[in-house]
Structure formats: structure tokens, C-alpha cells
Amino acid sequence: MSQYVIETHDLSKQYRIGSLLKPKKTKEYLTDLFFEPVRRVRSTLVGGVPTNAEQIFWALQDVNFAVKPGESFGIIGVNGSGKSTLLKILANVVQPTRGYSVTRGRIGTMLEVGAAINPEMTGRENIYLSGVILGMKVDEVEKRFDEIVDFAGIEAFLETPLKRYSSGMRMRLAFSVAAHVEPEIMIIDEVLAVGDLGFLEKSLNKIRSLSKNGITVLLVSHIPYLITDLCQSAMWLHDGQVKEMGTAEGISQQYQKYLQERDGISDNSPFVVAKADAAAVTDAEIIAEVASVDSPSQVNQDISQTP
């Protein structure tokens, strides 16, 4: 066996975009009332073959990387670069089209925390439910219950249904459960834009302490500062391919330079804090600022960029 906790070998994922059909004429709408279901049933049973190459989209192409035990590895890239697809393959949720990935040990995921919670159930019930869904055994949830409640700061609301919680409290509970799974590998995807500043700071410290305790952390973000701060090495994904791989600091700087050139962002933008002397401000303030500036504009740019 090998010394890596995570390995990928020529990992590729293909998606089909749009439908199998050409644009329709009015007459065809009527004939399709009959033929469309037939075609769909056939493509479901036989496996649909895309009619032309433009309808194929490679979300990931030949991604190779490996992470050593205890390492914190960052993945950076613009929206739509394949980061989330990669994480979903590593989490064994999506199957690759080509190549394969190997993970050794229990995987904890913080992919959009809160997926596992249920608004009708109480705080206590939700801690058990999402703990078990996230891969803990019942006695592990029991053992860490107080810690989880304490971290989320929801002691007074344990018997209240989650739908009566504020959205911040809900996210705190979800994050807290996810952070206490104690897996071998922790996969974190853009979850840090939630909660108030104090909780953000606490979350970052928790992630640092996870990696100090020997847990391999895989962090996905498009905020360079976070990658530099929390990771040792990093990978830059672009259009589903590995653009650069190296130290977290080097990759962040390269990525930042790319963003600045692409978007014409000046040196005093929040993007640049990774380089600047950030000692005076807290992590949380920087991230809050970056996140608020970053997200909306970037979404727009990515849409307009798509060919």
C-alpha cells in the first residue's frame, strides 16, 4: 500500500449538457408528443449516446494528485472549475467517468453543511440525526454531545424544533456536528461564509486544530487568503484540469495574480490581503470582507465567461 491518504489517477468526469434533441420546429412538437417518450425510454434503458461532441462537457479531466496523511491540502479555482465535482468523487457520491480515486479512512464532509438537518426536529434530535448521517456511531455522538452543543452555543434551545432557530443558529449547529466527526479525512467546501464573525473565527480555529490533531484536511475555496492560512500545499483547478500544483502560498499568489489580471482588480482590494500585512485584522474580518465582495461579482463573471 502507499503512504497517501488521498490519491487520484487520471480522474475525469464527463457530463452531458442540454438535451439530446436538436432545436424544434412547430410541427415537431406534435410528433414529439409520441416520439419523445420513446426516445427517452430508449436512452434510459440503453444508455443515451450524445449526438454530438459539443454536448459533452468535461467537468474534470485527468486530475492527478495525492495527499499525505496529516497534510492540509487546498484546492483553489474560479466557480465552475470542477472543485465541487472533485470533492464529490472523493466523497464517493459521484462516480468518475474515467480514472479512479482512492481514499483511506473515514471521510468527514462539510459540503454545504446543513444538508443533513431537519427543520421539524429538535436541536437534540438533529445532533443525533446529522451525526449519524455524517458517519458517526451513536455512542460517538453521545460522547461528543456536550462538546457539540457547547461549540454551537445552543444549550438553551436543545428541545426547540430547528425551524424556530435563526438561520445562524442552524448553521452553527450543522457546522458543529460536522466538525466533531473526527474522521481521517475532512473535506471542506466553501462553508466558511456562514455565521457571525465570532463563530467564523471559532470555525477557523477548529479547522486548524483538526489538522494539528493529524486529520488530513482538504479545503476548497476561491479565497486565496484561506488557502494560504490553512493549508501547506495546494492545487489550482481550471476548466477541470490541474493548472498548477505547489505550496499553498505560491499557488495562492499565482491565482491572485490571475484574478487581478482578469478582473482588473487593484492592489488594495480585499483579494490582495493574503500578501498584505494582515496581522492587525482578525481572520474573520478578512474573510467576511472577501466573501461579501467576492461571491456576487465572481458568479456574474463566470457566467459571461462560459463559451
Partner 1 sequence: MASDIYPTSDMDQGLSGPVVINRPMKGLPSLNLHELWIYRYLLFYIVRRDIVVRYKQTVFGISWAAINPLITMVVFSFVFGALLNVDTSGVPYPLFSLAALVPWAMFAKGLSNSSVSIQSNSNIITKIYFPRIIAPISAFTNSFIDFVVSLAVLLLMILGYVLLAPDLIGVVPPDATPEVIEAASQVRIFGPGPVAILMLPLFILLVVMFGLGLGFWFSALQVRMRDINYIIPFVLQIGQYVTPVAYASNMIETLSGAGGEVWQFLYGLNPMVTAIDGFRWAFFNLDFSPVPTIIASVSMCLFVFFSGLYFFRYSESKFVDYL
Interacting residues toward partner 1 by CB under 8 A: 1, 15, 37, 40-41, 44, 88-107, 109, 111-112, 115-116, 118, 120-121, 125, 128-129, 132-135, 137-138, 161, 182-184
Task: For the CB of residue 133, give the shortest distance to partner 1 in the complex, in Å.
Answer: 6
Task: For the CB of residue 180, give the shortest distance to partner 1 in the complex, in Å.
Answer: 14
Of all helices (H) and strands (E), which one includes residue 228? helix 224-230
- First and final C-alpha spacing in the chain: 42
Task: For the CB of residue 280, give the shortest distance to partner 1 in the complex, in Å.
Answer: 37
Task: For the CB of residue 32, give the shortest distance to partner 1 in the complex, in Å.
Answer: 15
Quick one: 77 or 183, whose CB is closer to partner 1?
183
The CA distance from 210 to 206, in Å, is 6
Quick one: 91 or 290, whose CB is closer to partner 1?
91
Q: Is 26 helix (H, G, I), strand (E, B) or coil?
A: helix
Quick one: 111 or 265, whose CB is closer to partner 1?
111
Quick one: 41 or 56, whose CB is closer to partner 1?
41
Cell numbers that stand for 117 in this block = 438537518
How far does CA 191 lie from the centroid of its chain?
7
The CA distance from 44 to 139, in Å, is 43
Task: For the CB of residue 306, give the shortest distance to partner 1 in the complex, in Å.
Answer: 20
Closest CA to 114 of 186, 170, 157: 170
The CA distance from 167 to 184, in Å, is 29
Quick one: 77 or 108, whose CB is closer to partner 1?
108
